[in-house]
Structure 1
Amino acid sequence: MKVLFIGGTGVISQAVSRLAVERGVELFLLNRGKRSAFVPKGATVIQGDIRDVQATKEALGNQRFDVIVDWIGFTPAQAQVDIELFQAKTDQYIYISSASVYQKPLTHPIVTESTPLSNPYWQYSRDKIASEALLMDAYRSTGFPVTIVRPSFTYGDTLIPAAMNSGAHPWSLVERMRQGKGIIVHGDGTSLWTMTHNTDFAKGFVGLMGNPQAIGHAFHITSDEVLTWDQIYQAIGKAAGVAPKLVHISTDFIARCVPEKSAGLLGDKAVSHIFDNSKIKRFVPEYQSTVPFAAGIRQTIAWFEAHPEQCLVDEAWNAQMDAIILAHEAGAAHFSSEMNG
């Protein structure tokens, strides 16, 4: 297959790019060339910015691709541009949506691809829902060959996954654990979640590429392992060689303290999810997740320790975590004082 990835070097897509090349795909990556270390040997980089439509047209010329994947589309306006750019350039267009599009709160604990799409908390998710609707309408009206894929929390070597961590410097969480500082866990730590290693995701995704039966369908691709958030943080600590000091704080309290965190918590991670992966297994029979989180996070910690230049600490995030914990402790002390007269 001749395949074009828009992006292709992010946390999720880098693993898909590697596997695609290993399986003999002629892979082209259209991106700005800022993460060249994650371009697999054998892939061809077309330097460009998808947001510059005219430059993209010129960069791609008359080339046609069996599959085009947009890893960095977020809004309906961007999806509309893709429809116009790629309608005549591909046999299959794959849109990367998000499992956060699923109904919040859930009315049924098992999530399938037919679970309603609704997220009143997070604009990011609403934009993905609207993009999906636009693309599916194009499929129904003009035959635009779309397949939708909805990743959930997917990690790899370069990401230490947690509900509360620094986006800029994810090593901050590990360093905080090793210093014995409090690690905030939203709620009581017992809500259920799924962490998916990017190499597992890649197996399901590459199986959808070039699969004509997948056109017009949506899929999520996740691990079948279900963990509590306490277990997730404990596994990160164990991989880092420490027993983390977990501090349970209600999601509502965190959201009041740090409003910018509320959408991602209330609209995603605070809700228990158990994903039914039957559909991806029907369309890609060989798909099976084989990397348990305990093993995957050990690999991630090892990668960071082998790249000390990546082991940076976000001091502003650290101060924010300290402030939330202090506010919570002050509230608890006040409540205890009131109760005891």
Structure 2
Amino acid sequence: MRVLFVGGTGVISSAAARAVLARGDELTVLTRGTSRRPVAGGARALRADFGDEDAVRAALGGARFDVVVDFIGYDTAHVERAVRLFRDRTDSYVYLSTGSVYARPAPRQPVDESSARRAGSFDYPRLKLECELAVEAAYRDGFPATIVRAAHVYDETVVPLLAGWTAIDRWRRGLPVVVHGDGTSLWNLLHARDFARALAGLLGDDRLLGESVHITSGTPLSWDAIHTTLARAAGVEPLLVHRSSEDIGREIDWMGPVLTEDFRHSLVYDNSKLHRLLPGLPPETGFRRGAAEILAWYDADPARQKVSADLDAAFDRLAARPG
């Protein structure tokens, strides 16, 4: 197939590019050209800011694509621009959204693609949900669209904690890391290569036009288990201190909306739709292996190990408070 990626140098899109190229598809990647990650070898690279519609048209020329995958849409103006640009250029437009659009707390578990969607004041899911509604409206108007939802996809370059490398650094210095709630709420982590294999398998499948599907892990983990696995991959036993999401938000204001509206709520996904569409998917990468890859990548170059002094101090203050 002839495939176009809008965006192609992020955690998800880089892995997806490799998966699409491995299938033998012809891949074009449209980016601004400002990412530190290179465009995957073997892909055709185009440069244009997607906010500049004329520049995108010029970059694309007369090209037509079997599938367009949009990794960067974050507002309805972007979706409306994509519809104008690709209505006559593709048979399939795939919008990458997020599982965070599902209502929290979920009215029923596990969550499937028909589950209620609702976004609060946290900007990320709110804006993504607005984009989904715009994509659905475009489909009703004849645009060949599909929505694919991801849920906390990581690779070796990402410590999948809000504290990032600061948590690893604290453990290695014998200091505790703060975990929201009691650490037992369930979360979903999926390695980028697993997401990419599934996404590549779905591209060009006409059964998905007008549909949505999430690509998520079938093995939810508690937040304590996520922290513990990372600490042990770092060669230490974890020191954990539990504080409420509200207390953490009062101390670290940017964490407040993420924790209270998203991370505190358990969410278990029903992946039966994905497996009906792709019955031969290989097993997922277990998080123990994923954590080992993360630590190996960061330890290979100490320059990658960025510690936030502000976050470090905030964890000290939170840990010193009575539980």
Normalising by structure 2, we get a TM-score of 0.96
Q: Distance in 2 between matches of 1:226 and 1:245?
A: 22
Q: Distance in 1 between matches of 2:231 and 2:306?
A: 17
Q: 1:256 to 1:308 in 2, by over 3 A?
A: closer
Which residue of structure 2 aligns with residue 266 of structure 1? Answer: 260
Which residue of structure 2 aligns with residue 152 of structure 1? Answer: 151
Which residue of structure 1 aligns with residue 133 of structure 2? Answer: 133
One-letter amino acid of the counterpart of residue 106, structure 1 = A
Q: Percent identity?
A: 39
Q: Distance in 2 between matches of 1:279 and 1:147?
A: 14
Q: 1:190 to 1:258 in 2, by over 3 A?
A: same
One-letter amino acid of the counterpart of residue 123, structure 2 = Q
Q: Distance in 1 between matches of 2:6 and 2:36?
A: 14
Aligned residues: 323
SS at match of 2:237: coil
One-letter amino acid of the counterpart of residue 294, structure 2 = T
Map 1:129-278 → 2, pairs under 5 A: 129-141=129-141, 143-162=142-161, 164-165=162-163, 170-278=164-272
Q: Distance in 2 between matches of 1:178 and 1:36?
A: 28
Query: How far does the alpha carbon of each residue in 1:200-248 deviate from its partner, in whole angstroms, 9 at most, with x for none?
Result: 1111111111111111111111111121110100000011101121010
Which residue of structure 2 aligns with residue 338 of structure 1? Answer: none
Query: How far does the alpha carbon of each residue in 1:246-265 deviate from its partner, in whole angstroms, 9 at most, with x for none?
Result: 01001121122233212211
2:312 to 318, 322, 334: 318
Which residue of structure 2 aligns with residue 89 of structure 1? Answer: 89
Structure 1 position 316, deviation (Å): 2.5
Structure 1 position 288, deviation (Å): 4.1
Unaligned runs of 5+ in 1: 333-341
Contact 2:251 2:314 in 1 (8 A): no
Structure 1 position 36, deviation (Å): 5.5
The alignment yields a C-alpha RMSD, in angstroms, of 1.5
SS at match of 1:110: coil
Q: Distance in 2 between matches of 1:287 and 1:322?
A: 44
Unaligned runs of 5+ in 2: none
Q: 1:259 to 1:316 in 2, by over 3 A?
A: closer
